[in-house]
Amino acid sequence: MQPPAASRDAPISNALTIDVEDYFQVSAFAPYIARSDWDLLECRVERNVDRILSILDRHQTRATFFTLGWIADRYPRLIRQIADQGHEVASHGYGHQRATDLNEADFKADIERAKQVLEDVCGTAVTGYRAPSFSIGTNNLWAFDCLARAGYRYSSSIYPIQHDHYGMPDAPRFAYRVNDTLMEIPITTLRLFGRNLPASGGGYFRLLPYAVSRWMLRQVHARDGESAVFYFHPWEIDIDQPRIDGIDSKTRFRHYVNIDRMEQRLNCLLSDFRWGRMDHIFLNRAVPLAVSQPSVSHPCQA
């Protein structure tokens, strides 16, 4: 049977995604930085995204930028630049609040506000969404109904791994339909030793040697015949970002480890694999419907 992601002769195209948030908006910093102080801090997202756009241009690569509505409100030129250069503008919510921290009504308001702001700024439809910190899971699957009713066509909000801050290890590893109008496209994992291992960016990409990440992605292609979904953040290429005082050692390590190597590794990644936008790779693909969804009455069904 033909692998789902590519023909026998063509290399598999993967989805390159960037979560557009600034260093002080990282969920792990929430106990240390008040949301009310965001406007008082040095914002570095413009220069970092400009660098990323230059890197992508050199590699003739298009990507999906999951962008906060908060960023779009303050830096509309940046969002228009992303769209004008042929990249997909998608939603990362408005203010980087985890879906698990919001009730259904507030989640609905957040995703609708972010979609409207982004569409007003870039002038194109926003069809994709990624929850901050991959915060859709077993206890809030109602969020999918909210996304569908808000007009999103896909989500990339589930990471099927075991993690101390997020994760749904029993979720499907590859794209599936939640309902007739919404697709979930999980972050890519490699199944090894009976576990799902992270194979698609974030802190793992900076922590592990690049050769490990390259091997894992190649294994996903060879074993599963599937496109990978890779993600990173603009602050991960910013070695000069302000250091946050008083954070615990685990948070410090996770945030800053190998930031000085990130850009070089990113260039290797773009050279070694074929990349594209989420919508171009997945939206016209036939994917299976999830076997079951919770039947719970909630505001998003009203």
DSSP 32-85: TS-GGGGGGSPP-HHHHHHHHHHHHHHTT---EEEE-HHHHHH-HHHHHHHHHT
Q: Return d(Cα 202, Cα 90) in angstroms, integer.
A: 18
Q: Return d(Cα 151, Cα 142) in angstroms, integer.
A: 15
Per-residue tokens: 177: 């339909």
User: Each residue of 22-51: pLDDT tens digit?
Assistant: 999 999 999 999 999 999 999 999 999 999
Per-block mean pLDDT, blocks of 10 residues, the chain (302 long): 47 96 94 95 97 98 98 98 98 96 97 98 97 93 97 96 71 93 96 92 93 97 97 97 92 94 97 98 88 50 53
Distances (CA, A) of 53 to 82, 83, 147: 8, 11, 28
DSSP letter assigned to residue 134: G
**How many other C-beta atoms are found inside a 10 Å radius of the C-beta of residue 78?**
20
Residue 296, pLDDT score = 42
Per-residue tokens: 75: 């830096």
DSSP letter assigned to residue 267: H
Buried b or exposed e, range 101-126, using 16+ CB within 10 angstroms: ebebeebbebbbbbbbbbbebbeeeb
CATH architecture type of domain 22-301 = Alpha-Beta Barrel (3.20)
Residue 163, pLDDT score = 62
Number of H helices, E strands in the chain: 10, 11
Residues paired with residue 129 on neighbouring β-strands, in sequence order? 91, 155
pTM score over 0.75? yes
SS3 for 18?
Answer: strand
Q: Return d(Cα 125, Cα 120) in angstroms, integer.
A: 9
Residue 6, pLDDT score = 46
Region for residue 86 given its phi and psi (left: phi exceeds 0; alpha: psi -120 to 50; beta: otherwise):
left
Residue 299, pLDDT score = 54
Per-residue tokens: 262: 């990130």
**How many other C-beta atoms are found inside a 10 Å radius of the C-beta of residue 286?**
7
Polymer length of the chain: 302
Residue 14, pLDDT score = 98
Residue 215, pLDDT score = 97
